[in-house]
C-alpha cells in the first residue's frame, strides 16, 4: 500500500492506467490549458496520463487503496505537488492506514528529494498524527550527514526538538558538527536556538559562549558565522551593548595585535568604538579616531567590496563628531 516502489519507475516497465483492468471505470480528465496555451509544457505521455487520472479522482473524491497507488505515482513524477500530498493524507486518514509504513515511505522519498518542502511537510504531519517523534532525530542525523546545511532538515529538526522537548543532546550534536566544519552557519544557528529555548542567556551562559566562540574564531578568523554568533550573544548582556564585556574588548585587541585584519574583527572594533563614543565612555584604545582610521583601512584594503559602505560609516561618525562639538 505504501511501498515506495512504483509502476512508473521505468517507462519501459510502466503499464499505462488505461491498460490496467482495475482502472477501467475511471475516465481521465485532461488538463485544461485554454484554447491557445501561451507556453505549452511538453509533458511525457506517462506524466500526462497519471495526472489526468489524478484529476479524475479529485473530481470524484474517491479514497481507496488504488488511489494511494496513484498518488505515489504522481508524487514520484512531481514530488513538489502540494495537492497530491494533501489528497494522499486525506486518503490515509480515511483508510486508517498504517502510519508506520507511511513514515518509512516518506523517508525513502525524502532521501531522493532532500530539498523539497512538500515531502518534509508530509513527514511532519505523519509524525504529528502518530504522536511519536522517536525516529526524527536519527533521521535528520542521516540527512545532515549528507548535507550539514540542509535547510529543510534543520527546520524539521528544530520543530521536533521544540515540540517534543528533545533538547538534551542537541548542544553535543552541534559541537560535533562545528568540530567538522566551524563555518557551518546552520550549526551556529541551532546552537543559538537550543540555548534560547533552554537555559537562556544567563550571565554564566554568556561567559561560556563568549569564551567558546572566541576559541572558534581563533581557529578561523575569517569565519563570519562565528563573528555573527558572538554579536548575537552580546545582545543578551545586561546592557545589550556590544562594548559591555571586557572579555570581548580584550579578545578583539589581542587578535588585532597579532596582526589579524579580518574584516569581521575590524567591523566589530569600529562598532565598539562608535558605541563607546555614543555612550560618552570612549577611551584611547577604542576611540572614535581609531574607528575612522579602521574605516579607511577597510575601504582601501581589507573590505574593498564594501568600500562605499565604509565611506558612509566614516561620514556618519564625522557628522556625530561635528554634532558633539557644536552642542
> Mind telling me the catalytic residues?
115
Question: Shortest CA distance to 198 belongs to which of 234, 227, 171?
Answer: 171
How far apart are alpha carbons 237 and 279 in whole angstroms?
Answer: 16
How far apart are alpha carbons 123 and 201 in whole angstroms?
Answer: 32
3-state helix, strand, coil in the chain (%, to 5): 65, 0, 35
The contacts of residue 199 (CB under 8 Å, 6+ apart) are 205
Q: Give the number of residues written for the chain.
A: 327
How far apart are alpha carbons 155 and 119 in whole angstroms?
Answer: 13
How far apart are alpha carbons 122 and 89 in whole angstroms?
Answer: 8
Residue 154, all three cell numbers: 534543520
Q: Which helix (H) or strand (E) holds 195?
A: helix 185-196
Amino acid at each position: 500500500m505504501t511501498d515506495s516502489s512504483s509502476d512508473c519507475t521505468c517507462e519501459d516497465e510502466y503499464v499505462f492506467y488505461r491498460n490496467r483492468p482495475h482502472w477501467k471505470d475511471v475516465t481521465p480528465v485532461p488538463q485544461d490549458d485554454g484554447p491557445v496555451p501561451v507556453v505549452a509544457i511538453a509533458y511525457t505521455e506517462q506524466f500526462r496520463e497519471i495526472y489526468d487520472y489524478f484529476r479524475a479522482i479529485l473530481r470524484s473524491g474517491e479514497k481507496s487503496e488504488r488511489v494511494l497507488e496513484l498518488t505515489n505515482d504522481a508524487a514520484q513524477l512531481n514530488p513538489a505537488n502540494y495537492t497530491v500530498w494533501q489528497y494522499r493524507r486525506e486518503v490515509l486518514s480515511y483508510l486508517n492506514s498504517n502510519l508506520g509504513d507511511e513514515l518509512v515511505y516518506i523517508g525513502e522519498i525524502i532521501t531522493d528529494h532532500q530539498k523539497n518542502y512538500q515531502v518534509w511537510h508530509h513527514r511532519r504531519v505523519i509524525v504529528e498524527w502518530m504522536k511519536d517523534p522517536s525516529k526524527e532525530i536519527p533521521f535528520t542525523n542521516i540527512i545532515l550527514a549528507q548535507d550539514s546545511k540542509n535547510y529543510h532538515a534543520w527546520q524539521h529538526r528544530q520543530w521536533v526538538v521544540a515540540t517534543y522537548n528533545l533538547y538534551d543532546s542537541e548542544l553535543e550534536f552541534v559541537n560535533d558538527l562545528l568540530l567538522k566544519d566551524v563555518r557551518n552557519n546552520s550549526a551556529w544557528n541551532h546552537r543559538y536556538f537550543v540555548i534560547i529555548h533552554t537555559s537562556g542567556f544567563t550571565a554564566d551562559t554568556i561567559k561560556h559562549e563568549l569564551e567558546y566562540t572566541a576559541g572558534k574564531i581563533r581557529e578561523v578568523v575569517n569565519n563570519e558565522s562565528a563573528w555573527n554568533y558572538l554579536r548575537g550573544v552580546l545582545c543578551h548582556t545586561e546592557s545589550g551593548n556590544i562594548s559591555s564585556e571586557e572579555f570581548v574588548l580584550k579578545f578583539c585587541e589581542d587578535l588585532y595585535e597579532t596582526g589579524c585584519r579580518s574584516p569581521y574583527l575590524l567591523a566589530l572594533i569600529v562598532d565598539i568604538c562608535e558605541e563607546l563614543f555614543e555612550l560618552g565612555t570612549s577611551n584611547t584604545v577604542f576611540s572614535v579616531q581609531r574607528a575612522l582610521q579602521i574605516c579607511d583601512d577597510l575601504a582601501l584594503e581589507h573590505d574593498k567590496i564594501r568600500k562605499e559602505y565604509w565611506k558612509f560609516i566614516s561620514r556618519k561618525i564625522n557628522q556625530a563628531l561635528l554634532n558633539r562639538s557644536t552642542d
